[in-house]
Amino acid sequence: MRKKLTITVLLLLTINVLIGSNTHFTPVKLSKEEIDYLKTDLEKKNKEYDPSMNMLFCVTQSRHYHSDLDSGVVVHQTRESLEYAVALLKTEDKAYMERGINIVKKILPMQETDESLPYCGIWPYYPEDPLRGRKAAIDYNWADFIAVPLIDVIINHSDYAGEKLVNDIKKALVLAAKAIKKRNVQPDYTNISIMGTYACYIVGDICDMPEMTSYARERLLNFYEYTIRNKGFTEYNSPTYTPVAMDELLRMQQTIINPEDRKIIDDLYAMSWNVIANHFHQPSGQWCGPNLRSYSSLSQPKFYRLLYNASNGTINLPGDYPRIPNVIAPHKIPEDILPKFTQSVLPRLEIDTFVVANPEIKIERVCQRNGVKKSDFIHSKDIVGKLYAGTEFALASVNQGYMWNQTRPLIAHWGTPVKPSYMQVRFLHDGYDFSAANIVCAQDSTTVLAIMSIADDGGDTHPGLDRIKDATIEATDIRLRIEVGGDLENTRFTLPELNREDVNFVSRNIKSTIKIPFAKWDNKDGHWETGNANGKIWADYVLYSGKKKTFRLNQMGDAVVGIHLSMSSGNENHKHPDVKIKVDDDYLTLFNDNLKVKALAKPANELRVKNDYEIECTDLTGSDINSPQISKY
């Protein structure tokens, strides 16, 4: 039966190509050596497998906004289990393959199939936290995330899965594709936009749904045009989202043969590698900032492995990580981009337009002028990042960002790939990153002037899911944090005797000077203190700490922090010109000889806070820096 089914599938696939299909499905056949590599990768996951549930298990680490479960709960994972199943099926090991099929059969029925429900086509994170009756918001991304490995089963393992399971998978994929199309994620949500496009594209072909394929092709073109217009992904320079997007683009390269669509896919893939190469700091081995959507301030071993594999071993950074091929995702750095990693020019200044402003967005501005309130309109502004990559350290900033824990709008790196270090600027509300705090930065090369302002309708712990209501928050603690992590050998902060004096920082041969030229929280001053925990040290400028207090942001006085941060290395003894301050009814302005930044001093609505600012930099390059690279796309 299985042999007959295999012949039938191959015949259908051949016919599919001959009649001019948009896709071509060639089942992947791994060599014995590749299977050995894959089995090595599977060793860790094997320990997480629960045979009683036919799924991988884990313990929840914290409460998630898409789950009703608290931390410390043993759960079984749908997405991770299916990805594990796909890998098992590629081993050609009978026991492993049987396990893989059992996982698929276990998870497939967890999909919501009632088309009267808005979340039809979606799977839960865990069977222990079902969709029905849940209080937490449902994560619609799970249609996309689950569809992708199921497609892999259809393309590569239909013969082993058997006719009934193949048909069941196709039914599930149709519901998932319909959910994806109904949701119609826009191109500003990069990885889900690409992933959903891939799912709908392939489901359209394998399930004979030409209208779904047409939708996917239009969506792909729309995403491409949006990305080119914005000169990159919305989640700019993201160590988290860029590799995910690349995985989906690689899947497209392996299956989509339509010449027009393939050209788009190849261009997007090369763009992704360019972003990584332009922000790679060879001395420290770090994927540097500024970043939107980053889960770690230091590069992880899987990034080093990606570089090693995608360069065929040419990029061989020191450290403990598996130097074996990733047969599931065989990425390759385009030949013209590889030298950017291996022959990087230092020092250099990278300037990237990450997001091009929408000229149709106009924001009303009300200001005090000569004691009289007057209003006008301002337009939204581009988001531009800068990275100074030197021989000893890298310093990066973005002209406008916000302080969510998945952003890195002002961050520095130094050290080596084996012993890297970072310095990150954070803004904390009761110990958690405060998304409503926005930052505006002006950077020349090794110096940044920045101002943090507050959006009174912004997010608290998340930029969208827990927005501030009625411009009111409660807090026991509000503070700015200069955090340092990674290798802490010979690393220390030295606090000033007076709050307005410099904080000095030393880490081996790296030096930094931090100033707070102006800071107020509800018109009150703050103070410096230091601390350490969990392998990190910090210097905090405390704006408020005490009993729980209600702050009505739209009725507060000034709530703003000005920062001066400069870095140097070795015996360099840079002079730090005094930062001059100007404060009026509406704005704080900081400036020195060649930098100026102006932003709101009082809380205002988010759209205005993000766009009502000015920055100037009169000397971008300096005498020892190569000509800046501006706007790669």
95: left (phi over 0), alpha (psi -120 to 50) or beta: alpha
Distance CA 65, CA 49 (A): 26
Confidence class for position 341, pLDDT limits 50, 70, 90? very high
Average model confidence (pLDDT) across the chain: 91
Predicted local distance difference test score (pLDDT) of residue 10: 43
Residues 6 or more apart in contact with residue 624 via CB below 8 angstroms: 347
Give the pLDDT band (50/70/90) at residue 623. Answer: very low
Average pLDDT of the residues in 92-100: 96
Cα 329 to Cα 306: distance, rounded to the nearest angstrom: 9
What confidence tier does 619 reach under pLDDT thresholds 50, 70, 90? low
328 or 597: whose pLDDT is higher? 597
Per-residue pLDDT tens over the stretch 27-76: 888 999 999 999 999 999 999 999 999 999 999 987 787 898 999 999 99
7-36 average pLDDT score: 66
Residues in the chain: 633
Q: Is residue 425 predicted with pLDDT exceeding 50?
A: yes
- 576, two tokens: 């730090």
Q: How far apart are CA 126 and CA 136, in angstroms?
A: 13
pLDDT bin (cut points 50, 70, 90) of residue 7 is very low
pLDDT for 572 beyond 70: no
- Least Cα distance to 49 among 57, 60, 41 occurs for 57
Decide: 124 and 130 in contact? Cβ < 8 Å.
yes
Other Cβ atoms within 10 Å of 616 Cβ, number:
12
Task: State the average pLDDT over residues 426-444.
Answer: 97
| Single pTM value for the model | 0.88
> Does position 567 have pLDDT exceeding 80, yes or no?
yes
pLDDT at 633: 30
- Identify residue 538 by its one-letter amino acid code: W
- Give the whole-angstrom CA distance, residue 50 versus residue 39: 18
Residues 173-206 pLDDT 10s: 999 999 999 999 999 899 899 999 999 999 999 9
Q: How confident is the model at residue 3 (pLDDT cuts 50, 70, 90)?
A: very low
Q: Band of the pLDDT at 20, cuts 50, 70, 90?
A: very low
Mean per-residue pLDDT for 395-418? 97
CA dist., res. 308 & res. 299, Å (int): 14
Please say whether the beta carbons of 404 and 555 come within 8 A. no
Condensed to tens digits (0 to 9), the pLDDT of residues 208-240 reads 999 999 999 999 999 999 999 888 899 999 999
Token representation of residue 567: 């870095």
Q: Average pLDDT in the 294-314 region? A: 96
Edge-to-edge strand ranges of the sheet holding 580-583: 580-583, 587-591, 595-600, 614-617
Look at residue 602 and tell me whether its pLDDT is greater than 90. Answer: yes
pLDDT at 624 > cutoff 60: no
pLDDT at 8: 43
The band of 367, judged by pLDDT with boundaries at 50, 70 and 90, is confident
Q: Which two tokens stand for residue 340?
A: 């950017």
Per-residue pLDDT band at 422 (split at 50, 70, 90): very high
User: pLDDT at position 328, please?
Assistant: 87
Over residues 453-465, the mean pLDDT reads 94
The percent of residues above 70 in pLDDT, for the chain, comes to: 93
Of 3 and 32, the structure prediction assigns the larger pLDDT to: 32
Q: Helices 78-89 and 94-107 meet at what angle, rounded to 10?
A: 150
β-bridge partners, 174: none
Angle at 194 between CA 193 and CA 196, to 5 degrees: 70
What SS3 class is residue 141?
A: helix
- 438, exposed or middle or buried, with CB in 10 Å at 0-12, 13-18, 19+? buried
pLDDT of residue 368: 78
Going by pLDDT thresholds of 50, 70 and 90, the confidence category of residue 9 is: very low
